[in-house]
Amino acid sequence: MPSQTPPSDPPGVTTSPTFVEGRNLYISATEWDRLCQGKSPDPLLVVLREAKGLLAQGGAVRLVNLRGEISISADRPTELQRIIDDASARRASNGLAPVIFVD
């Protein structure tokens, strides 16, 4: 499960690869790559479930690239598929099966 912003980080800065701020989930590019390249999709599914829950509560999901810019964003539950599609494409490029996310 994603962690809260570490208390030792200055406000607005985090070294955590995934963190929740308010009702928004932020995932770093490095962590997203790690999750999508794992042989087991289980860690990725945990993050996707967290994302779905936050979206249902009016939150958002942001995939943040290495420059700190938002590369993929979802603001509504219906937009979660965009993130799932990105994960499946990344997994396929590594010869892994697509992620199957079932409600």
Strands 24-28 and 60-64, bridge-based pairing: parallel
Q: Which pLDDT tens digits describe the chain residue by residue (103 residues)? A: 444 433 344 344 445 688 889 899 999 989 999 999 999 999 999 999 999 999 999 999 999 988 889 999 999 988 999 899 999 999 999 999 998 887 6
Query: Under DSSP, is residue 83 helix (H, G, I), strand (E, B) or coil?
Result: helix
3-state secondary structure 8-37: CCCCCCCCCCEEEECCEEEEEHHHHHHHHH
Kindly list the domain boundaries of the chain, sorted by start residue. Answer: 3-93
Which pTM value belongs to this model? 0.78
